[in-house]
Amino acid sequence: MENSGANPILNFARDHLVGRFGILRVGTKDERPMVRQDWRMLEESFASVRPEFPIVDVFELMNRQVFRYRSRRVASVCRSLDGLIGRSGLRKYSYRILVAAEK
């Protein structure tokens, strides 16, 4: 399970919001999401590499980082929005990605 670099909105937030405006940085500054170059390296090393999205969390991050789980109503709305994303073609923009690789 890795962080995905496919969502331009989350990339903007990582680069410009996290660590500022009271939005906590959870990881370290040297951590980064998976990008295309990482996929190429995996594809060279494995016969099959595919992304899977067992958990879709986009708005859950907002709930954690911005609202800090203070409101049940906000948490419910965030879960609902992530559920909608999970059932749509936008699933690939989840924060987390499961890398399935076979030799």
**How many other C-beta atoms lie within 10 A of the C-beta of residue 43?**
12
Domain boundaries, the chain: 2-102
Q: Model confidence over 27-39: pLDDT tens digits?
A: 777 888 999 999 9
Mean pLDDT, the chain, whole residue set: 92
pLDDT of 46 above 80 = yes
Transcribe 42-79 into DSSP letters: HHHH-SEEEEE-SS--SHHHHIIIIITT--HHHHHHHH
Task: Name the more confident of 24 and 74.
Answer: 74
pLDDT of 51 above 80 = yes
For 6: left if phi > 0, alpha if psi spans -120 to 50, otherwise beta; the answer is alpha
